[in-house]
Structure 1
Amino acid sequence: MMDFKGKTVIVTGAGQGIGLEICRCLVESGANVVLNDIDAQLAANAVRSLESKAGKCIAFSGDSSDLEVIQNMVDKSVSEFGQLDIVIANAGITLFGDFLTYSEDSFFKLVRTNLGGSFFLAQAAAKQMKDQGSGGTILLTSSVTAHQAHKNLAAYAMSKAALEMMAKNLVLELSPLNININTIAPGATLTERTLQDLDYAKVWQKLTPMGKPASVSDIAAAALFLVSDSAKHITGQSLIVDGGWTSVSPSPF
């Protein structure tokens, strides 16, 4: 268990799945967590599930791609806990679609959430960390699709690859502020959403060299390492957590 006692962390898209598990691990490790989800009820339920843990967790509902919501979330973390140390931009959407018929509405909705939300949250957090003068850590959520083609995910894959380039580029501007920034790229993972497909686990069990898709705890463990003090000299990198899938890349279709 890593020690995050006294650290203040924002995690977006955390009402369930990977985001919620990251929050659970952080709170168990003593962190103060601002848990964001666009669904207010989901966020409230998530916070209630963490009430018995070592750290503190508060809900902050709202669209994580909205600039006003982003700034209010950063301000709330400081007013509630006195500082902001870590930001995990986990919120994102997946909109499948054939490239030749992919709609303008779907494209810009996906880009606004996956890219805009992450970019401007990182910007607002970095400004706050600069003002504090004590540095900080930013983690962006990418995907294995940033590294390997996947049918009907051209726009999604593009957005995730862009996040990895964003992290590399921001090394130049954030390193002098003692802020490190990385991405984590999950592969097939068992979550409430993916398990709605009754064949998901069986399909990815066959396709994954390690013999099973990831659990949310697999992804959370890697995320916590990247935002821990043990990883402060790691920046501009992407950590793939996929049981070896991108090494062989068999298609699920």
Structure 2
Amino acid sequence: MDFRNKTAIVTGAGQGIGFEICRQLAKHGATVLLNDIDKDLSQKAADKIRTEYGNCISVPGDCGDISFVNKLVQQSVAETGHLDIVIANAGITLFGDFLSYPADSLYRVLHLNIAGTFFLAQAASRQIRQQGTGGALLFTSSVTGHQAHKDLAAYSMTKAALEMLAKNLVVEISQYGITVNTVAPGATLTERTESDPNYASVWSQITPMGRPATVGDIADAVLFLVSDKARHITGQSLVIDGGWTATSPSPF
């Protein structure tokens, strides 16, 4: 896929799925603004991609902060003159039993996962509308937005909300040539999940395809959905889980 002359924002991209999305976009010619709340992680990730492919700019900051989100969009335009693709990948997972789940944890999850994505999509859509060139938005959901998962009531609620947000935005922004979709990854091998020595073996046993996803599996789907090849696909959610939601055995 060809992303030359495209400018993309990817949030929550210091490592894992977000990093691989940035890497693949840069590989295929895009100028990428890589965001992560961890300044050092963001810079190291951007440096690595720039050394390998070029065209990657570190923009550290908190995507739950509306003023930062607006500045992120403004910087993309300052760098290249336009914004074409926005991938709202930043999110937080706070496990906890529903009956004792604390209010501060709930508000943190809602603030970043829902409000952060909402206002990034809003700022990006305004910019793309002004350009008159069309573009693509993509939100990172989760299989937990489709299937119940122990101790993830708050998180799964936000992920289901993102899928409804994408669907609703179809009636709001399609007229400006903007597509909006979500991907819902299942178990995926990342730096965080691989810190659990049992993660890969457990999920390999309960995933019909016999293994958890790699970050490349998710990035491949994302790149398709934000490419010109998917210009007539909008309001959709693509589950990428090796068939787990079809059977849904618990890992516990």
Q: Note whether the superposition's TM-score is higher than 0.5.
A: yes
Q: Is the 8 Å Cα contact of residues 5 and 55 (structure 1) preserved in structure 2?
A: no
Q: Quote the residue 1:37 is aligned against.
A: 36
Structure 1 residue aligned with 2:93: 94
Distance in 2, matches of 1:244 and 1:56, equals 35
How far does the alpha carbon of each residue in 1:162-195 deviate from its partner, in whole angstroms, 9 at most, with x for none?
0000000010011111101000000000000011
CA distance in 1: counterparts of 2:50 and 2:56, whole angstroms: 7
Aligned positions, number: 252
Q: Which amino acid aligns with 1:153?
A: L
Q: For residues 53 and 44 of structure 2, what CA distance do their matches in structure 1 show?
A: 18
Q: Say if 1:29 and 1:55, in contact at 8 Å, map to a contact too.
A: no
Q: Which amino acid aligns with 2:173?
A: L
Structure 1, unmatched stretches of 5+, are none
> TM-score, length-normalised on structure 1?
0.99
2:193 corresponds to 1:194: yes
Query: Quick check: 1:238 aligned with 2:247?
Result: no
Distance 2:50 2:33 in 1: 13
| Aligned counterparts of 1:83 and 1:176: Cα–Cα separation in 2 | 19
Question: Normalized against structure 2, the TM-score is what?
Answer: 0.99
> SS at the partner of 2:189?
coil
Determine if the alignment matches structure 1 residue 27 to structure 2 residue 26: yes
CA–CA separation in structure 1 for the residues paired with 2:51 and 2:108: 37
The gaps in structure 2 that reach 5 residues or longer are none
Give the 3-state SS of the residue equivalent to 1:52 in structure 2.
helix
1:135 CA displacement: 1.1
**Partner SS state of residue 123, structure 2:** helix
Equivalent position of 1:120 in the other structure: 119
Which residue of the partner structure matches residue 10 of structure 1?
A: 9
Deviation at 1:51, TM superposition (A): 1.7
Q: Compute the RMSD of aligned alpha carbons.
A: 0.7
Show the counterpart of 2:131.
Answer: 132
TM-superposed CA distance for 1:65, in Å, is 1.1
> What is the Cα deviation at residue 55 of structure 1?
4.5
Percent pairwise identity: 62
